[in-house]
Amino acid sequence: MITDEAFRQAVKAAIAEHKKNRNIAFTWEGQTYWIKRRLSNGRNQFAKSSVNVQFYTEVARSTIAHRLTGLSPEIVYLDADCMVTRAAGENINHWMKESISEEEKMDILFRVGQALGELHQAGMTHGRPALRDFLYEDGRVTLLDWENQPRAENKDKCMALDYLLLLLSLFREPYAEMNYIEALEKGYAEAAGRETRGKARAFLKRHAFIGNLAKALDIFHMKDVEAFSKLYRYLAD
């Protein structure tokens, strides 16, 4: 933890300058940091935990993930109203739009899949992994947003849901080509094996009605429905 009073004052000054923002970037001694405040994200809170529960859950789960795997950014400053981490690069959607080679893009997605696999091998799940939650910089992947608690008691089911949600987030993007999907899956399999993929596929088959409904609704071109339809066709058909 950073205990320097000047750093604490820099955090307070950044918050004062951006009073309504939940996430704030600021620079101190040449290093960029991110502040995450104990505030609502502005989304509908129906069926979600309170702001306090979400914040303290994220602090606890992020700390555990960092110590187990190093995938979560280290919390360098913490008080009752915010936590601060060092910046760890841009998210995956940024990199996929950059003018870099196809090989580099496939390698990044491979590392994303590998990161989720390493997390699962360490006995943890994320709860809502999406490409926007993964940062990449200089060959290193970092995973953010740990406020979501596991969706089930059964760890295998939680891993299967993580797997499906990460693939779903890729299918939502216009660059969801087969080589990218395979690169992500290959990275996961290298870190954690293929057992979770089989369980994810079985989960979709058990919920075939939803998959068939999504396919039937393809004609309306609703982004999330189309993404689920593509996921279902890919894994379950």
Domain boundaries, the chain: 5-86, 90-235
Checking if the pLDDT of 48 tops 60, the result is no
Residue 76, Cα to own-chain centre: how many angstroms? 20
**Which residue is it, tokens 């590392």?**
111
**Whether the model pTM is above 0.95:** no
* CA 57 to chain CA mean position, Å: 15
| Confidence at 136, pLDDT banded by 50, 70, 90 | very high
State the Cα–Cα distance between residues 228 and 171, nearest whole angstrom. 8
CA-CA distance, 220 to 211, in Å (whole number)? Answer: 15
Question: d(Cα 162, Cα 120) in Å, to the nearest integer?
Answer: 9
Q: What is the pLDDT of residue 57?
A: 94
Q: Is the pLDDT of residue 150 over 90?
A: no
Please report, for residues 23, 69, 131, 194, the alpha-carbon distance to residue 125 in angstroms, rounded to integers and kept in the order given: 23, 12, 15, 16
Query: Over the stretch 27-44, which tens digit does the pLDDT of each residue have?
Result: 999 999 999 999 977 654
Q: 3-class DSSP state for residue 58?
A: helix
Nearest by Cα to 59 from 31, 45, 78: 78
Instruction: Look up residue 30 and give its DSSP letter.
Output: T
Residue 123 φ/ψ region, left for φ over 0, alpha for ψ in the -120 to 50 degree band, beta for the rest: left
Nearest to 20 by CA among 35, 33, 34, 39: 39
CA–chain centroid gap for 199, Å, is 20
Q: Is the pLDDT reported for residue 46 higher than 50?
A: no
CA dist 16 and 208 (Å) reads 50
Q: Is the domain defined by 90-235 classed in CATH 1.10.150.170?
A: no
CA distances from 61 to 33, 73, 219 (A): 20, 11, 40
In this prediction, what percent of the chain has a pLDDT beyond 90?
86
pLDDT of residue 43: 56
Please give the radius of gyration of the chain, using alpha carbons only, rounded to the nearest integer. 19
Determine the Cα–Cα distance for residues 186 and 102; give it in Å rounded to an integer: 16
pLDDT score recorded for residue 47: 44
What pLDDT score was predicted for residue 49?
Answer: 67
End-to-end C-alpha distance for the chain, whole angstroms:
50
Residues 179-231: tens digit of each pLDDT: 999 999 999 999 999 999 999 999 999 999 998 998 898 888 899 999 999 99
